[in-house]
A and B are shown apart, each in its own frame.
Chain A
Amino acid sequence: EAGVTQSPTHLIKTRGQQATLRCSPISGHTSVYWYQQALGLGLQFLLWYDEGEERNRGNFPPRFSGRQFPNYSSELNVNALELEDSALYLCASSPVEGPRNTEAFFGQGTRLTVV
């Protein structure tokens, strides 16, 4: 069974550009989570989507946005990129609404570098 897949694995953008990151959850998983892991920092919660709806949002500016498609895949868009946005962006999926006592499975991440 395929795990959570993310693309691209690496992305280099210049300041002010827009970045689009993609995530395909494990088949049957309806919830998708996005996290940012900057160097030396922990995972910071960005967004949670379930059944096509945004369920929760972390403490990030509005230029971080996303969506979930009918097939449960998801996109994370970052507009007006800043140098501080350079980080590993991780997507996770879980099989039920919210990762209560169930495991959240992570993709290998997209490493975004803003120059």
Chain B
Amino acid sequence: RKEVEQDPGPFNVPEGATVAFNCTYSNSASQSFFWYRQDCRKEPKLLMSVYSSGNEDGRFTAQLNRASQYISLLIRDSKLSDSATYLCVVLTGGGNKLTFGTGTQLKVEL
């Protein structure tokens, strides 16, 4: 089983749609969780950290379920500029290793 698993997509959605991505992780001792965004042929950039209480940043909402070991990202009112690959990232202690999922590709269309 992979340490971090994501549906690779692609998710093709119309502009204005709401889209949700899920990610599961295998190490129950994982400490911190993030969503990164990677545009085509560019480096990944932090989108948001994920907290146990859930957190929101504008149109983006991230949630963490430790019991079920999954993380979610909800994008509301999607824009063309949201088209990218979204990477689920988990920090595992005892080495502070950031483990990346393979990413979920989102394509927002007119």
Contact = CB atoms under 8 A, between A and B. Distances in A.
A103 interface: yes
A99 B44 contact: no
Contacts, number: 52
Contacts of A98: 91, 96
Interface in B32-62: 32, 42-46, 49
Contact of A104 (B42, B46, B95, B101): B46
A63 interface: no
Interface residues of B, number: 20
A24 to B, nearest CB: 14
B70 interface: no
Contacts of B46: 103-104
Interface string A83-115: 000000010100001111101101111000000
Interface of A: 33, 35, 41-45, 48, 55-56, 58, 90, 92, 97-101, 103-104, 106-109
